[in-house]
Structure 1
Amino acid sequence: MVVVPAVPTRSREWTPVLTGLRADLLDCVQVNLAALADRAYRPGAHLALGATLRFHTAEGPAGAPAVTASVDQRLAEAADLLGLRVTRRWDDVSGARLRELLAEHSPLYVVADTFTMSWLPYAGNQHMEHSFLLVDAGEHCVVADGYHNSTQWGDARPGVWRMSAADFDAAVPHATAMTIAAEGAPVLDRAAVLRDNAAALRAGADRIEGYLTAVRQRAGEPEAAAQLVLDVWLLGRSRALHAAWLAGEADAADAAREAADRADAWLALAGQSYVAMRRVRRGGVFPAPVLDQLTGLLRGEVALAGAGSEPPHGGPVADPDRIRAVLADEVRAVLGVGPEVPVDQRPLRTLPGFNSFRLVEVIERAEARLGVELEPDDLTGPALHDLDSLGAVFDRARPATQGVSGR
């Protein structure tokens, strides 16, 4: 296939919008919905796309479950979180038909195959669903695309491109086009959103375990290893976007810092998994520590999702399951042990590296995450024996005063 490169240009309307996006945190379907939101509302409005945390899977090309972020899912999130709603939709239309539609409907949100998109490094290299905005189809066709990623074929960066009608028709032979109306961004209740996140991830615990089992069984296969890289990449971006959304909430500084730390761990794992995939392609074995890190991060998702959520007035500070998840997470973090080391149902003093100083650090970190203060009189020897006894102390803890801060 001969690809005629699109010509980079500037748009008075769209270039400033694309420049203001956190495009490095968005996938290729989200990013141009984000551009529509910021254009309609204000710069930074798109960060609300990071409010929800979920773990969805579908059967991937390798036959194992794969993390999925479908177009319909992203459209539903944009409707719920940003009030962006599809008003018209045209499936399986040609580039020529897109140009006709633009005469009456501008801009068009378009989803098509990257393999022929001349402004992307995927052109001629990889098939993948991808979105863009068709913003002009006059003397030249002009597309705006906020996508940001580095690939083995080159970098994709936010920008605006122009091309002839014939070149556009070749770049987009088949597509789905939509008009999207901005009906007003809803005001999100942060505490309610975080509670919903925690509940959804708890409900998906079996799905997470099934995914981890399948990944361990298939990670040595090149196609499955490549899917794992994409899965970690998607999870890393979504968790980093969540942290960016929390950072914009004035009273969520502690939760934002914690979410940012976890997002950094996901993004670091993305690099490690890519190196591991390359090793598998050369006939090597997928490194077990990468899979251990994946397991630890996914099992810690419930605690992350619940961090910073506010309890109902007069109710408990946190439910027992979340308390124990947070305690286990912090014990592992403070002692530097992986998921292969059991921390439940054993005396804390038997854990490698454990001492009284480490215990104090665990307690302080858990207090900050759960927003509570333990009563000093409750910290007796029996209460500090294991996670169950320590969890019982946290069960009856009082809400923290403003003097307690998170990490």
Structure 2
Amino acid sequence: MVVVPAVPTRSREWTPVLTGLRADLLDCVQVNLAALADRAYGPGAHLALGATLRFATVVGPAGTPAVTASVEQRLTEAADLLGLRVTRRWDDVPGARLRELLAEHSPLYVVADTFTMSWLPYAGNQHMEHSFLLVDAGEQCVVVDGYHNSTQWGDARPGTWRMSAADFDAAVPRATAMTVAADGAPVLDRATVLRDNAAALRAGADRIEDYLTAVRRRAGEAEAAAQLVLDVWLLGRSRALHAAWLAGDPATADAAREAAGRADAWLALAGQSYVAMRRVRRGGVFPTPVLDQLDGLLRDDVALAGRLADAGPVPPPQDGPAADPGRIRAVLADEVRAVLGVGPEVPVEGRPLRTLSGFNSFRLVEVIERAEARLGVELDPDDLTGTALHDLDSLGAVFDRARPAAQGVSGR
């Protein structure tokens, strides 16, 4: 396939809109809905897309659960969170028909296949649903696309491009086009949104467990490893967008800082999982630590959402005897071994606590109380969810945010 490159240009109307987008936090369907929102309501309006925090899966191409971000899901979110409503829709239309439609309906929000989109590095390389805005189809066609990503074929960056009608028709041979009306951004009640987030993630705990089980079983397969990379990428961007939304209100500034730290961990994992996938493609083994980190981050999502809903803004980390995460993990490992009466030769880290011989809920309570005494802290009972008590990493995360004990520190 011969791809004729589109010509970068500037737009008095759209270039300033793209400049104000957090495009690095949005996927390729969201980003141009975000552009429509900021054009209608002003800079930063699009951050409301980060209000909801979910973990939803479908059966992916590899036969394993895959994190979903369908066009229909994104349109529903844009309607609920931004008041963007699809007023007209045309499916399976060619580029020439898009140009005709634009004469009466401008701009058009368009979803098509990246494989032929000449302004993207995916052209000729990868098939994927992708959105853009068609804003002019006069002497030349003008496309606006806010997408921001780095790929193995080059970088995609927000911009505006012009091309001839013939080149546009070749770049978009088939598409779905929509007109989108901005009915007014709804006022979101943050407390209600945070409660809904926590409830949804808690209700999806079994889904998370099923996902992790499937991923661990199939991560060594090339197609499943590739899907995992996409999953982590989507989760990382959604968590970073959530942190950006939280940062928009001073009342949740502390929560935003912690959420941003967790999002950074997700985005770092995206890079690690990509390297792991490349290793699998060369016949290697998918590294277990990457899967362990995925496990911990998903469980931390549930815990963080619960704290935000139950206790409001997350307090800043406390300076005190439990401030060092390394020390916390060492104390927890020490106390697990002490309670179970086993020596250092028995591995207690990097595995579910329930797999340890003799471990049960009574032993867990004893471990927690002994660790609280040594570290001089008290855990919030609301933090002691099933996911928080899964292993030393998730339990350590609870101790990381524990408050100093009201009584004196034990001399043990």
TM-score by length of 1: 0.79
C-alpha distance in 1 between matches for 2:268 and 2:112: 30
Distance apart, 1:125 and its partner CA:
0.1
Work out whether residues 85 and 181 of structure 1, in 8 Å CA contact, stay in contact via their aligned partners in 2: yes
Distance apart, 1:72 and its partner CA:
0.3
Work out whether residues 243 and 259 of structure 1, in 8 Å CA contact, stay in contact via their aligned partners in 2: yes
Distance apart, 1:384 and its partner CA:
15
| 1:226-270: CA deviation from partner (whole Å, max 9, x where unpaired) | 110000000000000000000011110111011011101100100
Percent identical among aligned pairs is: 91
User: Partner of 2:122 in structure 1?
Assistant: 122
Change (3 A) 1:335 1:36: farther
Work out whether residues 3 and 123 of structure 1, in 8 Å CA contact, stay in contact via their aligned partners in 2: yes
C-alpha distance in 2 between matches for 1:20 and 1:54: 25
SS for the counterpart of 1:377 is helix
SS for the counterpart of 2:180 is strand
Distance apart, 1:67 and its partner CA:
0.5
Work out whether residues 303 and 322 of structure 1, in 8 Å CA contact, stay in contact via their aligned partners in 2: no
User: Partner of 1:405 in structure 2?
Assistant: 410
C-alpha distance in 2 between matches for 1:239 and 1:382: 18
Of 343, 352, 355, 1:347 maps to: 352
Which deviates more, 93-102 or 322-331?
Answer: 322-331
C-alpha distance in 1 between matches for 2:329 and 2:193: 21
Change (3 A) 1:370 1:70: farther
Work out whether residues 255 and 369 of structure 1, in 8 Å CA contact, stay in contact via their aligned partners in 2: no
C-alpha distance in 2 between matches for 1:18 and 1:189: 27
| 1:306-350: CA deviation from partner (whole Å, max 9, x where unpaired) | 373xx9999999999999999999999999999999999999999
Distance apart, 1:141 and its partner CA:
0.2
Distance apart, 1:303 and its partner CA:
1.2
Which deviates more, 116-125 or 370-379?
Answer: 370-379
Work out whether residues 303 and 383 of structure 2, in 8 Å CA contact, stay in contact via their aligned partners in 1: no
Distance apart, 1:224 and its partner CA:
0.7
Work out whether residues 376 and 408 of structure 2, in 8 Å CA contact, stay in contact via their aligned partners in 1: no
Distance apart, 1:225 and its partner CA:
0.5
Q: How many matched pairs?
A: 405
Moved segments of 4+, more than 3 Å: 311-407
Which deviates more, 356-365 or 148-157?
Answer: 356-365
Distance apart, 1:195 and its partner CA:
0.7
Change (3 A) 1:357 1:58: closer
C-alpha distance in 2 between matches for 1:162 and 1:145: 12
| 1:147-166: CA deviation from partner (whole Å, max 9, x where unpaired) | 00000000000000000000
C-alpha distance in 2 between matches for 1:332 and 1:176: 60
Change (3 A) 1:133 1:380: closer
Work out whether residues 116 and 123 of structure 2, in 8 Å CA contact, stay in contact via their aligned partners in 1: yes
C-alpha distance in 2 between matches for 1:377 and 1:54: 20
Change (3 A) 1:119 1:366: farther
Work out whether residues 375 and 397 of structure 1, in 8 Å CA contact, stay in contact via their aligned partners in 2: yes
C-alpha distance in 2 between matches for 1:327 and 1:33: 47
Work out whether residues 95 and 172 of structure 1, in 8 Å CA contact, stay in contact via their aligned partners in 2: yes
Which deviates more, 320-329 or 155-164?
Answer: 320-329
Change (3 A) 1:77 1:206: same
Which deviates more, 43-52 or 396-405?
Answer: 396-405
C-alpha distance in 1 between matches for 2:353 and 2:101: 66
Distance apart, 1:110 and its partner CA:
0.2
Which deviates more, 8-17 or 371-380?
Answer: 371-380
Distance apart, 1:305 and its partner CA:
1.6
C-alpha distance in 1 between matches for 2:164 and 2:411: 55
Change (3 A) 1:399 1:125: same
SS for the counterpart of 2:305 is helix
Change (3 A) 1:406 1:225: farther
Which deviates more, 334-343 or 84-93?
Answer: 334-343
Change (3 A) 1:341 1:252: farther
Work out whether residues 292 and 338 of structure 1, in 8 Å CA contact, stay in contact via their aligned partners in 2: no
C-alpha distance in 2 between matches for 1:92 and 1:208: 35
C-alpha distance in 2 between matches for 1:192 and 1:274: 36
Work out whether residues 296 and 393 of structure 2, in 8 Å CA contact, stay in contact via their aligned partners in 1: no
Distance apart, 1:355 and its partner CA:
22
Q: Aligned-residue CA RMSD in angstroms?
A: 8.2
| Pairing 1:43–2:43 present | yes
Change (3 A) 1:322 1:101: farther
User: Partner of 2:144 in structure 1?
Assistant: 144
TM-score by length of 2: 0.78
Work out whether residues 254 and 405 of structure 1, in 8 Å CA contact, stay in contact via their aligned partners in 2: no
Change (3 A) 1:340 1:93: farther
